[in-house]
Amino acid sequence: MLQRVLMITGGVAVAAIVFFSGAAPDAAYKLLPGYFPDPNQAWSETPLAFGQVSEASLPTAVIAERAISAMRDDKQILFGDTHVHTTNSADAFMYSLPMMHGASGAYPPAYACDYARFVSQLDFYFLTDHAESFTPRQWRDGIDSVQQCNRLAGDPANPDIAAFVGWEWTQVGGTAETHYGHHNVLFKDDSTDKLPARPIASVGVGVATVAARSGSGKQSSLLGLLDPRHRDYYASYNDWVMQMAAVPACDPETASPDLPLECYETAATPGDLFAKLDEWGFDNMVVPHGTAWGFYSPPNSSWSHQLTAENIDAQKTRLIEVYSGHGNSEQFRDFAVRELNDVGEWVCPEPQANYLPSCWQAGEIIRQRCLVEDNSPEECEARTIEARHNFVQVDGIQGFMTVPGSTAEDWLDAGQARDIFLPAFNYRPQKSVQYGLALQNLDDPENPLRYRWGFIGSTDTHSARAGHGFKQQQRLNTSDATGVRSPFWETIFASSAVRSEYASKSLRADEIDPVSAKLFASEFERTTSFLNVGGLAAVHSQGRSRDAIWDAMKRREVYGTSGHRMLLWFDLLQGDVSVPMGSSVNMASVPRFRARAIGSFKQLPGCPDYVVNALEKQHLEKMSQGECYYPSDERYQIDRIEVIKIRPQSVAGESIAPLIEDSWRLFDCEPSAEGCTIEFEDPDFVTQGRDALYYVRALEEPIATINGDNLRTSFDENGQAVDTDMCFGDYRLDINDECHEPQSQRAWSSPIFVDYKK
């Protein structure tokens, strides 16, 4: 009997071991509450496994056709993506965990090449994983993948793609005065002897989703027990966190090239970053991005404190990312999260037609709770005023934590720019591109400082899907919208968040926990309605080589798009000479300009046969889910071209809003296969006698666009927000719901800087 009991007990133990190892038949796991189908074993490969770039090639005729359709004079327009994350980035790795809605496993650097070459069919891309996430091995793996891609791309003078490498410097300040924001560091060359030995990270943790480089960044080991089939994938995340933790900090007093290979290097400010890059001496550019994105930018963040001799390098910062899959940062609007009154105290501004301040809505939430408790209107008004006061005393991004137990629905569309095309979440207008271009530091009148950026777009994708904006489909695959995949996983995920209890009185700034705010769900839930398919960087290039692409970027002869491959030219006309976008000129006569825009190709469903035949079926399906860049012969019509004029400050403290004229001119376009061409001049330039810059926006006919109406807010007859219909990234919204609303895809030319010649 004892022997039989031992045999049964041993059998149960063996079965349990097999079950929790993930090796049991799939049917056995259907009993688990977190079960979901995984027929393709999407998580069998982890981001820690080095991937191989597919060795197939694109037909030469395809490459030749691209050049023919976008050629003018000696230059052709090439399209690329300067901001590509893989699951070598901590946030991308986390988004890929099996419990996340829409996740489909690891996307290591090799996927970026395959996606860019075959699925999106770009001309170039830059690998830019978070420096804060790197281990030495991952830096080498990223370089190796780019080198593989370039070797397989054919003749270096005429490759089917040019792959570049860099990293993201993911800086976040706790206050507006210490905040500089995210910047991509890009390099011209891919050989290790022309690249830094390691990425240079920002000081501190950039955003909540960038894992801490310590044991505190690990996921709970419980996940492997709740989902045994994928226990190795969860374990690999924790292994990687500990690999990061094992990398020692670099000596801050030692020059960057003299440091040991395997240490973690940081820079606190843009100036510190520039100085370290100069120590290496390699050709590079540093591109600010996501600048108006309030999910990480503190209230009142501004370009002003960054525009100093210590933190500006005109040669490095020649470009800026106007638009990405994380929203549009182009336009200035004259509103603020909070304002200073006459005695220097922070106060809550009143609502505007285009903006509901979050502090104002904080008061309204508290008022409604107070009234439900049958308190007097006078008492509830006092609590309302106190709630608004408490909100604006918070210097960081945690103001919403002053309202205990609030939900995403409570906040309506507070903090959002209502009249901007696909705006960044919790919009920060003084970090917009237009605001930065209107600033001038006149501390030294003989050598004033100002920004002269060329414009690009990008994806900021976190699944190695470079240039994925060709079709407004697959919201959860192409955008970064994500969340848990079921109510069960929501319970597990939410258990780690520390939330204050629901209450009808507001909390003071010293009563909230900023660490808990990183896991606070309501802001994350609202953010998913502001994540779109990504944009593109277009260059006017003298050839397809990496040198030609880099040179076009350096001379700012570039433009950005919201994802469609529109063709755009913008020139200053000087006699028989055309001066292209991105140029700086001095003149004292009336400037005359010409702009021409041609719509992008409408897309056919599916993927071209040469792509289907080139790649292994399961690999292509994982990357594209059956949809690739597949142009028809028909183009979208150009709807209109808008001209923006900005006059940089001429005296210290000059008001910014009147200096930004958007739109200064507007031209409606007649439908035409040839696109739309306009000419205009500015006679006021001479009479005003001051510097100016001009750029154009070209808009296509409207189409259904992912998250095209963001929170899908409903308004009453007085224009006040009353309800939202959010585009959640988790299980609450069907995976096939694209949240489509009509929007005009667009392209932004780089400015032409016209300085008044005195």
Retrieve residue 123's tokens: 């001309």
Q: Which of 362, 396, 361, 403 is nearest to 515 (CA)?
A: 396
What pLDDT score was predicted for residue 2? 44
Residue type, 695: Y
CATH code of 60-333+430-481+531-756, in short, is 3.20.20.140
Prediction pTM value: 0.95
What is the spatial distance between Cα 745 and Cα 697, in angstroms, rounded to a whole number? 10
Residues listed for the chain: 758
**To 5 degrees, how large is the angle CA 98–CA 619–CA 560?**
85
Of 464, 582, 553, 622, residue with least CA distance to 142 = 464
pLDDT at 408: 93
Q: At what angle do helices 358-372 and 377-392 cross, to 10 degrees?
A: 150
Task: Mark the ranges of the chain whose per-residue pLDDT is less than 70.
Answer: 1-15, 67-70, 205-211, 494-500, 514-521
* Three-state DSSP string of 467-488: CCCCCCCCHHHHCCCCCECCHH
Give 206's DSSP letter.
S
Determine contact, residues 437/301, Cβ cutoff 8 Å: no
Q: How far is CA 574 from CA 667, 689, 750, in A?
A: 22, 19, 18
CB of 497 closer than 8 Å to CB of 520: yes
Q: What is the pLDDT of residue 752?
A: 98
Which is it for the CA torsion 664, 670, 675, 679, positive or negative? negative
Query: How many C-beta atoms surround the C-beta of residue 659 within 10 A?
Result: 22
CA 44 remoteness from chain centre: 28
What pLDDT sits at residue 22? 75
Structure tokens given for 55: 């060795």
In angstroms, the CA 578 to CA 572 distance is: 6
